[in-house]
Amino acid sequence: MAPVGWIIPATDPDRRRTLVRELARGTHPSPIAIGAACVIAAMATWGLEDSDAILAAAVAEAEWLGLPDFDDVQRAADGAWTPPPGGITLDAAQTAAAVTYVIQGSAGAAEAMTSAVLLGGDTDTVAAIVGGILGGASGQDAPHWWGRVSFPENAEVDGLAARLAELRRGWYSA
């Protein structure tokens, strides 16, 4: 749900939540999965707006949800949550807590993605979400392995980035 956060500005949380619900319910219809998607989208929004507000956004979204399943998001933002010893499960609320935990304890995107992979369990999901949240934040260094990844031609990536930026500008003017 990071792309929803990328295109909907922080000033329109109701629209962001509506879009998240509509997109998530097709593949992940449970209230917990939709709630986790809302937390992630809120974090991604603030990743672009003000990276210092990412953790506060996670907590605010978890509080807005009002579900005890998301209490671990608050604990993770406070540094008081510990990942389970067997690694991260497929549970959506636990994934949101793990993302929050990794961002809270890391100095930047590269360190956070590495920390996510070291959690064990469903680490590819956690690392991908963390990358989506922190990857757009200003001042992030590329991970040391960045040069070994095969990306599409720059024109394709540039075009996609331009379309996402145009969508975001459209929300501001709407």
Q: Where do the domains of the chain lie? A: 2-173
- Range of weakest confidence among 28-42, 73-87, 90-104, 127-141: 127-141
The β-bridge partners of 88 are 121
State the Cα angle at 104 between 100 and 105, rounded to 5°. 120
Give pLDDT, residue 150. Answer: 78
Tell me which residue of 48, 41, 51 sits closest to 15, measured CA to CA.
41
What is the pLDDT at residue 173?
A: 63
* Mean local confidence (pLDDT), 127-146: 82
Task: Supply the pLDDT for residue 77.
Answer: 98
Cβ neighbors of 137 (< 8 A, separation 6 or more) are: 47, 48, 51, 54, 109
Q: Which of 87-91, 99-103, 120-124, 158-162 has the lowest mean pLDDT?
A: 158-162
The arithmetic mean of pLDDT across residues 30-44, rounded, is: 96
Q: What is the pLDDT of residue 119?
A: 95
Q: Which candidate, 112, 135, 132, 116, places its Cα nearest to that of 124?
A: 116
Residue 62 has pLDDT above 90, yes or no: yes
Q: What topology is assigned to 2-173 in CATH?
A: ADP-ribosylglycohydrolase fold (1.10.4080)
Cα gap 151→61, rounded to integer Å: 33
Write out the two tokens for 151: 């990306």
Q: What is the pTM of this model?
A: 0.86
